Chain A
Amino acid sequence: MLQIENLTKTYTSGNRSLTVLKNVSFSVEDSSTVAIVGPSGSGKSTLLGLCAGLDQPTSGKVVLEGINLSVLSEDERADVRNRNIGFVFQNFQLLPTLTAIENVMVPAELRGERGVYDRAFSLLEKTGLADRIHHYPSQLSGGEQQRVALARAFINKPKILFADEPTGNLDDDTSSGITDLLFNLNRDSGTTLILVTHDLELAGLTERILRLRSGEVISDTVNAPSVYNNGEKGYPA
């Protein structure tokens, strides 16, 4: 599904350069769940950005579904993202001028699909927002906004879902609901999940945990048995 080879990212500002990722390599299997954890500034978000084709590495390569993202233009990568990737952000990142259902429809509309209303409605129904579909983001609570974001992430039936601190802006109760929803939707659609978080409890729900520090992978552990692998809901002890 995803292969990362010797990925390095250096930011240059004036005469100063800062390497935030150093020779990172790993691969992710189809339908698996992976958490990338590490303290602030360890390079988690940068790695996610590169994996999702949001940015270009300084060296190394990212191969997603057999496509080398490192050699594609921004617009070609946008196409790959639209066809293969779903996103869930910490700040929800809903478009403020669009209603909940319109936000969900956007990725499908970008593919040129028409008549996606029913699909979007069904996803919002699954997330428990059937009665809020015409509300604008500013009229929804944080938890509701993240539910809309989850519905949006799954509208195109992505092969891989990147979630960047999906519960980072939510209180504990709401977090729990969102986590349930995220893993359930992921399991139902057989999507590969890559989760960036510094919440070890959340990371513990995935099959594998990659630990980053100062831009390097310091550990890559299998987190078995996953409570979600056998279709049961629950948290590891």
Chain B
Amino acid sequence: MKPLDMFIWSLKMSGRELRSNYSKLLLFVSSIIFGVAALVSITSFGDNLNKAIYDQSKSLLGADITLQAREPFNDELLALTDSLGGEQAEEVRFGSMVFLPKTGDSRLSQIRAMRGNFPFYGSIDVVPADALNRYQNENMALVDESLQLQYNVQPGDSIRIGTRDYLIGGIVRGVPGETAAQGVIGPRVFIPLETVLGSALLQRGSQVTYLTHIMNPDLNTEGNFRDKLRPVLERNRARIETVESRRASLGRSFRNLTGFLNLVGFIALLLGGVGVASSIHVYIKQSKKSISVLRCLGAKLPAILFLYTCLSLIMGLTGAVLGILLGGALQTLIPAVVQDFIPVDVSTVLSLRAVAYGLVVGLIVTLLFVWLPLAGIRDISPLAAIRSSYEPATGGKTNLLRLFVVVLLVAFILAFARMQTGDWIQSLFFTGTIGLILALLSLMAVLIVFLIRKYFPNGWSYVWRQGLANLFRPNNQTRMLIMTIGFGTFLLAVLYLSQRVLLDEIRIFGTSGQANTVLFDVQSDQAGPVADLIREEGLPLIEVAPVVTMRIESINGRTYQSLRQDTTGRSSRWALQREYRATYRDTLNASETITAGAWEGIYRNDGSPVPVSFETGIAENLNVSVGDTIVFDLQGVTVETLVASLREVDWQNPTPNFFLVFPNGVLEPAPQFMVILTRTDSRETSARFQQQIVQNFPNISIIDLDMVLATADSILSKVTFVVQFMALFSVFTGIIVLIGAVITSRFQRMKESILLKTLGASRQKVTRIMAIEYTLLGFLAAITGTALSVATTWLLALYFFEAPFRPDLLPLLLLVFIVIGLTVGIGMFSSRSFYSQPALDIIRSEEV
């Protein structure tokens, strides 16, 4: 047969197969629908997001250029901004307590003190809208919607920042280029710049960022524009952002987001692939007789393989098209799901690239997965047409073919993950984890079946014995169902448990005796009165830590500038450039362990370099070790230090932890502020104490760790919702695969049920046998998936989150019951017609 004839014959035969089995095959196809839908919806969303970022890039920055520094612009920077021309706006950004006289509450907020018409592009969404044009002239404040939601403040109410009261002019609903989640972390409050200049809020040591926004459309900010300005900016430790750089950094972030979501969706597609493979496996088994007859009649192996490949491709194509349609509908929902995390308005037009992507990936997954069972066609001998009991052993060539397909499959998953993450290590981790979990689930299924067979409870009732035996009978779906249902359960449980680990970690702060209130920016002369106030309120003074800010001047004689410009250097730029907040003391605290060198708590003042201790992580980023010398610039004074020791720091310990610790005897005279830790036991005490601090010491910022916990909870819930939304695709795929598996094994089960019925079994008995089978399947899959999720989360907690893991059993048990319920429900629903089927039809059925 010529290749063209083979192609035509295969297509013709595929059509004939589909004509007779379309309902059975449609279910096979359905397995990939949700996976393709997930990919199409996320890819389309990603494309629309990219387009939105490109289209709205000017309003993302709000200007053509933004310059920023940690100190007021010096003459050189002012000269630079002057040279850039155009219209300019100034902003001073800092954290401060905002006191709400109406409720008596205080909240650490992000203050944006503005002068000028920023944003030049796009607009801050304020209610009422005219407040944006009035607030600077009328010395009013615009407050974040999150502050309104939390404390019910309204336009017309007043807030106090530092010592000054402001009337609330409007409620900020959105800031161009910023996400809603940013407002939850720290509510944004816009006030006129004039009202804070020279105030105590901007004193030395406070965390303040000075920005100048420039609108000058005539400037060409593309190409090497930033490079040309770099020397001046680096000399002054300032940064520049242009529309292009903001667009690029946002593009990178959201590529990561859509890449991650695509991977979660891809898992659904892989699960669907497992379902397709299993369905085809059973289909081929049921078609064995036909295949052997075809071979008898002279069909060559390639022709038969081609026939079933054609059939699978037609099914895959149908599934992919249905998936694309579903994905097209779902992609209109994605922007709403992730709206808190995206800074732009995203359209919901289905992108052609997403359609092509879904089609190609869906077909590749189908093809790769169906080739695993199709390889078995090699072993179907024409002899089986005349000898029904003929069962040849699996040939070596078949195993080789299967191995080749598995290698292709792994390579494809790896390549797909690499495309999404852009990182080989992460892709290997993704592929390895999926492979390992599926292998473990498969192994567990084999082990369970083996154990049931070996220790079969012969003494149990007939119904139980039948139900158990169904797990290992020919055409059973045990392994496939445990793999798909187990994997779905695993995904959901890992997501839930990981979220708990992160929240529990934050909750440690709230445990009895630990500090839950941190006071920042306490000036030296305020430390005594603040401590007195704490005592007067009957609160414990848990810790007072001095903080001195400094920057790196040189390392081992090489200046900061030369180190930054050295592209071959191994020091991280951010670690070199950052402002260090160091403390000094003579002892290590409970969260610190020396890992190299020796701790020195007192400086002998003999003119030698000051022995300091670095945290191991930052030492690695700076590429320094014990014995290296580092010169720091302490607000104009240089101090030569020697790395005397490296410390491992337990960052989870709720004490002030530092990258850099000096010994006593050096920094005492330096300008400094204090961090003070205390504990409040009730919301009322906390509110009263914060009110006292804000009123008496307006420059001091208070971090209420209970508030941090609530905020983290809210953010994590939103993140979890997004991920769970994607995980739902896997759950739906699991359900489809489950229905497919039940229908696939339907004829086998139906014949058994009818025979039992013919032999006198009651409907109740037949139903109970099936119920037991599906309960066991659901139970085994759910328990295995949950157990693997506990093990995986434990590993994640140990090595990734570095946090203790205490699984909460109750929700896990609930999940197990839900999975069992779903499995039994779907299984019984799909088998509901078994008993009512006429016995003769089934017994005479050729397809069994």
Chain A interface (Cβ within 8 Å of chain B)?
A: 45-46, 48-49, 52, 54-55, 74-75, 78-79, 81-83, 85, 87, 89-91, 93-98, 102, 106-107, 109-112, 136-138, 152, 164
Q: Give the residue name and chain of the B residue nearest to A94 (CB).
A: B293
Tell me which residues from 378 to 403 in chain B have a Cβ below 8 Å from any Cβ of chain A.
Answer: 381-383, 385-388
CB distance from A217 to the nearest CB of B (A): 20
Looking at B298-306, B574-582, B756-764, the stretch in contact with chain A turns out to be B298-306
When the two chains form the complex, which single residue of B289, B298, B301 contacts A82, counting CB atoms closer than 8 Å?
Answer: B298
Tell me which residues from 258 to 307 in chain B have a Cβ below 8 Å from any Cβ of chain A.
Answer: 289-290, 293-303
When the two chains form the complex, which single residue of A81, A94, A95, A98 contacts B298, counting CB atoms closer than 8 Å?
Answer: A81
Given contacts A107-B298, A112-B5, contact A93 B20 (CB under 8 A): no
Query: Are A110 and B17 neighbours in the complex by a CB distance under 8 Å?
Result: no
Query: Are B297 and A82 neighbours in the complex by a CB distance under 8 Å?
Result: yes
When the two chains form the complex, which single residue of B16, B294, B295 contacts A102, counting CB atoms closer than 8 Å?
Answer: B16
Separation of A138 and B847 alpha carbons in the complex (Å)? 10
Q: Which residues of A contact B386 (CB under 8 A)?
A: 45, 48-49, 54, 89-90, 164
Separation of A31 and B9 alpha carbons in the complex (Å)? 32
Q: Which residues of A contact B847 (CB under 8 A)?
A: 96
Given contacts A89-B385, A111-B1, contact A136 B20 (CB under 8 A): yes
Query: Are A83 and B289 neighbours in the complex by a CB distance under 8 Å?
Result: no
20 A-B pairs with C-beta separation under 8 A:
A49-B387, A78-B301, A81-B298, A81-B382, A82-B297, A82-B299, A87-B297, A87-B385, A89-B385, A90-B386, A93-B385, A94-B293, A97-B17, A97-B290, A98-B16, A106-B294, A109-B9, A109-B12, A110-B299, A137-B846
Given contacts A45-B387, A54-B386, A111-B1, contact A97 B300 (CB under 8 A): no
Given contacts A78-B382, A97-B21, A97-B290, contact A138 B297 (CB under 8 A): no
Q: Give the residue name and chain of the A residue nearest to B385 (CB).
A: A93
CB distance from B722 to the nearest CB of A (A): 45
Interface string of B1-30 (1 = CB under 8 A from A): 110011001001000110111000000000
Separation of A82 and B296 alpha carbons in the complex (Å)? 8
Query: Are B289 and A112 neighbours in the complex by a CB distance under 8 Å?
Result: no
* 4 nearest A-B residue pairs (beta carbon): A82-B298, A112-B5, A97-B20, A75-B300
Q: Which residues of A contact B387 (CB under 8 A)?
A: 45-46, 49
Q: Which residues of A contact B845 (CB under 8 A)?
A: 138
Query: Are A112 and B2 neighbours in the complex by a CB distance under 8 Å?
Result: yes
Separation of A15 and B2 alpha carbons in the complex (Å)? 43
Q: Which residues of A contact B1 (CB under 8 A)?
A: 110-112
Name 14 extra pairs, CB < 8 A, besides A54-B296, A83-B298, A89-B293. A46-B387, A52-B296, A55-B383, A78-B295, A78-B299, A78-B300, A87-B297, A91-B388, A94-B293, A95-B294, A97-B19, A97-B290, A106-B294, A138-B845
When the two chains form the complex, which single residue of B2, B21, B289, B383 contacts A93, counting CB atoms closer than 8 Å?
Answer: B289
Separation of A49 and B384 alpha carbons in the complex (Å)? 10
Query: Are B383 and A54 neighbours in the complex by a CB distance under 8 Å?
Result: yes
The B contact surface, by secondary structure, is helix
Q: Which residues of B contact A97 (CB under 8 A)?
A: 16-17, 19-21, 290
Q: Which residues of B contact A152 (CB under 8 A)?
A: 297
CB distance from B543 to the nearest CB of A (A): 76
Separation of A52 and B381 alpha carbons in the complex (Å)? 13
CB distance from B284 to the nearest CB of A (A): 14
Given contacts A45-B387, A112-B1, contact A54 B382 (CB under 8 A): yes
Tell me which residues from 300 to 345 in chain B have a Cβ below 8 Å from any Cβ of chain A.
Answer: 300-303
Tell me which residues from 153 to 176 in chain B have a Cβ below 8 Å from any Cβ of chain A.
Answer: none
CB distance from A41 to the nearest CB of B (A): 12
Separation of A110 and B2 alpha carbons in the complex (Å)? 10
Query: Are B298 and A110 neighbours in the complex by a CB distance under 8 Å?
Result: yes
CB distance from B283 to the nearest CB of A (A): 11
Query: Are B297 and A81 neighbours in the complex by a CB distance under 8 Å?
Result: yes
Separation of A81 and B17 alpha carbons in the complex (Å)? 24
Query: Are A79 and B385 neighbours in the complex by a CB distance under 8 Å?
Result: no
Q: Which residues of A contact B17 (CB under 8 A)?
A: 97
Separation of A196 and B303 alpha carbons in the complex (Å)? 30
Q: Which residues of B contact A52 (CB under 8 A)?
A: 296
Tell me which residues from 621 to 635 in chain B have a Cβ below 8 Å from any Cβ of chain A.
Answer: none
Separation of A55 and B382 alpha carbons in the complex (Å)? 8
Q: Give the residue name and chain of the B residue nearest to A53 (CB).
A: B382
Query: Are A74 and B301 neighbours in the complex by a CB distance under 8 Å?
Result: yes
Separation of A115 and B708 alpha carbons in the complex (Å)? 79
Q: Which residues of B contact A94 (CB under 8 A)?
A: 293
Q: Which residues of A contact B290 (CB under 8 A)?
A: 95-97
Query: Are A95 and B846 neighbours in the complex by a CB distance under 8 Å?
Result: no
Interface string of B552-588 (1 = CB under 8 A from A): 0000000000000000000000000000000000000
Q: Which residues of B contact A49 (CB under 8 A)?
A: 383, 386-387
CB distance from B646 to the nearest CB of A (A): 65
Q: Give the residue name and chain of the A residue nearest to B846 (CB).
A: A96
CB distance from B16 to the nearest CB of A (A): 5
Q: Which residues of B contact A91 (CB under 8 A)?
A: 388
Q: Which residues of A contact B385 (CB under 8 A)?
A: 54, 87, 89, 93
CB distance from A102 to the nearest CB of B (A): 6
Query: Are A107 and B297 neighbours in the complex by a CB distance under 8 Å?
Result: yes
Q: Which residues of A contact B2 (CB under 8 A)?
A: 112
Q: Which residues of A contact B296 (CB under 8 A)?
A: 52, 54, 81, 87, 93
Q: Which residues of B contact A107 (CB under 8 A)?
A: 297-298
Separation of A109 and B13 alpha carbons in the complex (Å)? 10
Tell me which residues from 439 to 455 in chain B have a Cβ below 8 Å from any Cβ of chain A.
Answer: none
Q: Give the residue name and chain of the B residue nearest to A44 (CB).
A: B386
Separation of A79 and B845 alpha carbons in the complex (Å)? 32
Separation of A190 and B9 alpha carbons in the complex (Å)? 29
Q: Give the residue name and chain of the A residue nearest to B841 (CB).
A: A138
Separation of A83 and B1 alpha carbons in the complex (Å)? 11
Q: Which residues of A contact B5 (CB under 8 A)?
A: 112
Q: Give the residue name and chain of the A residue nearest to B295 (CB).
A: A78
CB distance from A179 to the nearest CB of B (A): 19
CB distance from A15 to the nearest CB of B (A): 15
Given contacts A45-B387, A89-B386, A96-B847, contact A79 B16 (CB under 8 A): no
Given contacts A45-B387, A112-B1, contact A93 B298 (CB under 8 A): no
Q: Which residues of A contact B9 (CB under 8 A)?
A: 109-110, 112
Q: Give the residue name and chain of the A residue nearest to B293 (CB).
A: A93
Q: Give the residue name and chain of the A residue nearest to B4 (CB).
A: A112
Q: Give the residue name and chain of the A residue nearest to B382 (CB).
A: A54
Separation of A137 and B16 alpha carbons in the complex (Å)? 14
Separation of A106 and B342 alpha carbons in the complex (Å)? 59
Q: Which residues of A contact B289 (CB under 8 A)?
A: 93
Separation of A137 and B847 alpha carbons in the complex (Å)? 11
Q: Which residues of B contact A89 (CB under 8 A)?
A: 293, 385-386
Query: Are A75 and B301 neighbours in the complex by a CB distance under 8 Å?
Result: yes
Separation of A45 and B296 alpha carbons in the complex (Å)? 14
Separation of A88 and B505 alpha carbons in the complex (Å)? 75
Separation of A138 and B747 alpha carbons in the complex (Å)? 15
Query: Are A79 and B300 neighbours in the complex by a CB distance under 8 Å?
Result: yes
Q: Which residues of A contact B388 (CB under 8 A)?
A: 91
Q: Which residues of B contact A85 (CB under 8 A)?
A: 298
Q: Which residues of A contact B303 (CB under 8 A)?
A: 110
CB distance from A62 to the nearest CB of B (A): 14
Query: Are B293 and A95 neighbours in the complex by a CB distance under 8 Å?
Result: yes
Q: Which residues of B contact A137 (CB under 8 A)?
A: 846
Q: Which residue, A48, A83, A91, A97, has most C-beta atoms of chain B within 10 A?
A: A97
Q: Which residues of B contact A54 (CB under 8 A)?
A: 296, 381-383, 385-386
Q: Give the residue name and chain of the B residue nearest to A50 (CB).
A: B383
Query: Are B297 and A110 neighbours in the complex by a CB distance under 8 Å?
Result: yes
Q: Which residues of B contact A164 (CB under 8 A)?
A: 386
Separation of A45 and B31 alpha carbons in the complex (Å)? 42
CB distance from B494 to the nearest CB of A (A): 43
Query: Are A78 and B19 neighbours in the complex by a CB distance under 8 Å?
Result: no
Q: Which residues of B contact A48 (CB under 8 A)?
A: 386
Q: Give the residue name and chain of the B residue nearest to A74 (CB).
A: B301
CB distance from B312 to the nearest CB of A (A): 15
Q: Give the residue name and chain of the A residue nearest to B378 (CB).
A: A74
